[in-house]
Structure 1
């Protein structure tokens, strides 16, 4: 249960963050409300949360509120697909579905209020299903959940077939989770009928359905957050690599900026605000590459000998030694002996190879440990 709540809480935080960036996105708003309702319903299933609500609102209020939140969870999940797929028709369908879920919520509320609190006490596995209102309460809610989850699973499989990875991977995970939840709800409905008829159901079957529900919900939450989490991981890796490469370029940058202070570009924002922000790290990384490149162009006349010509592939260690000598000559006021030439250029045209060349020269400039 704790693992389930942790996964739901992480998903809610992520979707709320996305909603602040796109507040008018109806599908995103629907899936966010779906996760919020799911996250609110599960503490009510815990003994501490249920007893607290029952103390304030009366015995049985926690169970009723939990089931209503579950109905709203699957309703908002349906709205996500309706808003995503059908436009104006989807909005009309969502209003009709709202009437359906409201009718189910009112019906199970009436059923719960028409029996004594002592009869309504207990969980699904211990409730007296021979009481018609109790059977209707669990059976009615379960059938609506089965219907909504089954429809959502069908839509999810449809979108998964049309999508590419990594989105399709997350959609297939969510589809399997939704289908498993629908199956679990169907089994619970059958269990309600069996117990309403006065027969008993093996306890291992009851526990198995509960485990299936928990696992399927976790799988669904993992599926809908998969592509976003994957993008965040890739973004974090890039952020870490740019921070590392920025530090590794420091020796070359310091040497060149000592000779040519004018190559240092003005920062776009104060360093204290820019230091840890993702955009700030990427901006400082690319700025340092540009500054190093500008400095190498300016210092190249002092580095390349006449017999070198426009040599592009000097050894990193040799180039580092020549750069130190060139800076010393510049400090003595020697004029540039010849025109500028490219230095430490990669053979290919890709940016990564170019940066590797600069880092190799910068590493050669580091003092020996």
Structure 2
């Protein structure tokens, strides 16, 4: 699970870096990219044993210090995303002011960490000796800043959620709840620091419960951020699969008509083999096949009517129309002249593209079954 989250973060960072390279002046995009980048850099250091290499080179506690500074920058850049999205002079001044605040907090915890032996940072939050003032200051100040930044971004997210429509509003509400819950968890941990610094004790199950609550809050936030995009991707994938299926279903009808009228085959937009699997390529081939089928039906329609038939040919059932189409192709091969004008065939009752495709597919299925 940990490796999967790290891989997902790395993919997101790579994508955002690419987007940022194409729009270097986009301040909100820059903030999101830096937020994800600092989160990616801090995540391995927070993993069990992840900071051992850094501690070996730079001394015990260095990895924890770097990880916490990166975490401060992560929530700062998250705040900047909202501030720069407002795109006003006041918002930009607020972003610069917040930069001063996070810089002061980072300098303060670095100074606190440097005034004690490095080996006191060897443990985790639950095992650290909070009776040492510098350790209590380190964890307390970091937690208070995280509480502040997460609380503010949670409030801004709720405001955006109220102004948005579903499904974006759903994702924003999930993210807002996640951010607010993280802020609450940071506040509770700050209380734990104060209790332990004053000589009190906090039961291990209680600290473990808050840690689990924090993890759940993070997952809820990540789910909220990705909800709208994931839902759009699922919808897009379902449309892609349906159009590939319909493209294959239309193959018998398309083959029959293009054999009779090869000039109706449109030139492909891209000859690349991999274009067959790309979303845009699938959609283009789907629409092109419908147009080619419709053109072929118009061209062959004069050969379909029997003697004495009028408009009945317009509403033939799919199985009957499939039979007539096979006969008409034979008639065309004998160079017979059509006895009537071209008319539209296989017209659906409803006037929309989906109904049109269903009707054409029914004729194509009848051709396949009668082959």
TM-score by length of 1: 0.95
Measured at CA, do residues 93 and 59 of structure 1 come closer, stay the same or move farther in structure 2, by a change above 3 Å? same
Deviations 1:296-339 (A, max 9, x none): 00000111224332332211000000000000111111112210
Alpha-carbon distance in 2 for matches of 1:305, 1:103: 89
More divergent stretch after superposition (25-34 vs 59-68): 25-34
> Which residue of the partner structure matches residue 141 of structure 1?
142
Measured at CA, do residues 56 and 129 of structure 1 come closer, stay the same or move farther in structure 2, by a change above 3 Å? same
Measured at CA, do residues 310 and 24 of structure 1 come closer, stay the same or move farther in structure 2, by a change above 3 Å? farther
Alpha-carbon distance in 1 for matches of 2:370, 2:331: 23
Alpha-carbon distance in 2 for matches of 1:109, 1:321: 83
Is 1:208 the equivalent of 2:205? no
Alpha-carbon distance in 2 for matches of 1:175, 1:6: 24
More divergent stretch after superposition (202-211 vs 5-14): 5-14
Q: Residue 304 of structure 1 contacts residue 310 of structure 1 at CA under 8 Å; is this kept in 2?
A: no
> Which residue of the partner structure matches residue 333 of structure 1?
335
**Aligned partner of residue 47 in structure 1, secondary structure:** coil
Measured at CA, do residues 328 and 368 of structure 1 come closer, stay the same or move farther in structure 2, by a change above 3 Å? closer
Measured after TM superposition, the shift of residue 240 of structure 1 is 1.0
Measured at CA, do residues 7 and 182 of structure 1 come closer, stay the same or move farther in structure 2, by a change above 3 Å? farther
Alpha-carbon RMSD across the aligned residues, in angstroms, is 1.8
Measured at CA, do residues 308 and 57 of structure 1 come closer, stay the same or move farther in structure 2, by a change above 3 Å? farther
> Which residue of the partner structure matches residue 323 of structure 2?
321
Q: Residue 4 of structure 1 contacts residue 218 of structure 1 at CA under 8 Å; is this kept in 2?
A: no
> What pairs with 1:219-238 in structure 2 (closer than 5 Å)?
219-238=220-239
Alpha-carbon distance in 2 for matches of 1:237, 1:12: 26
Measured at CA, do residues 17 and 366 of structure 1 come closer, stay the same or move farther in structure 2, by a change above 3 Å? farther
> Which residue of the partner structure matches residue 192 of structure 1?
193
> Which residue of the partner structure matches residue 57 of structure 1?
58
Q: Residue 113 of structure 2 contacts residue 138 of structure 2 at CA under 8 Å; is this kept in 1?
A: yes
Measured at CA, do residues 271 and 6 of structure 1 come closer, stay the same or move farther in structure 2, by a change above 3 Å? closer
> Which residue of the partner structure matches residue 364 of structure 1?
366
Measured at CA, do residues 17 and 191 of structure 1 come closer, stay the same or move farther in structure 2, by a change above 3 Å? same
> What pairs with 1:249-288 in structure 2 (closer than 5 Å)?
249-288=250-289
* The one of 326, 344, 347 aligned to 1:345: 347
Measured at CA, do residues 356 and 19 of structure 1 come closer, stay the same or move farther in structure 2, by a change above 3 Å? farther
> What pairs with 1:237-256 in structure 2 (closer than 5 Å)?
237-256=238-257
> Which residue of the partner structure matches residue 82 of structure 1?
83
TM-score by length of 2: 0.95
Is 1:162 the equivalent of 2:163? yes
In the alignment of these two chains, the number of paired residues is 369
Alpha-carbon distance in 2 for matches of 1:32, 1:255: 52
Q: Residue 61 of structure 2 contacts residue 120 of structure 2 at CA under 8 Å; is this kept in 1?
A: no
**Aligned partner of residue 226 in structure 1, secondary structure:** helix
5+ residue gaps in structure 2?
Answer: none
> What pairs with 1:1-40 in structure 2 (closer than 5 Å)?
2=2, 4-5=5-6, 8-9=9-10, 11-12=12-13, 15-16=16-17, 19=20, 22-40=23-41
Deviations 1:264-300 (A, max 9, x none): 0111110414211111110011000000000000000
Q: Residue 146 of structure 1 contacts residue 186 of structure 1 at CA under 8 Å; is this kept in 2?
A: yes
Deviations 1:166-188 (A, max 9, x none): 00000000000000000000001
**Aligned partner of residue 266 in structure 1, secondary structure:** coil
Measured after TM superposition, the shift of residue 367 of structure 1 is 4.3
**Aligned partner of residue 311 in structure 2, secondary structure:** coil
Alpha-carbon distance in 2 for matches of 1:7, 1:217: 14
Measured after TM superposition, the shift of residue 19 of structure 1 is 4.6
Q: Residue 11 of structure 1 contacts residue 225 of structure 1 at CA under 8 Å; is this kept in 2?
A: no
Alpha-carbon distance in 2 for matches of 1:99, 1:351: 57
> What pairs with 1:82-101 in structure 2 (closer than 5 Å)?
82-101=83-102
Q: Residue 8 of structure 1 contacts residue 221 of structure 1 at CA under 8 Å; is this kept in 2?
A: no
Measured after TM superposition, the shift of residue 12 of structure 1 is 4.2
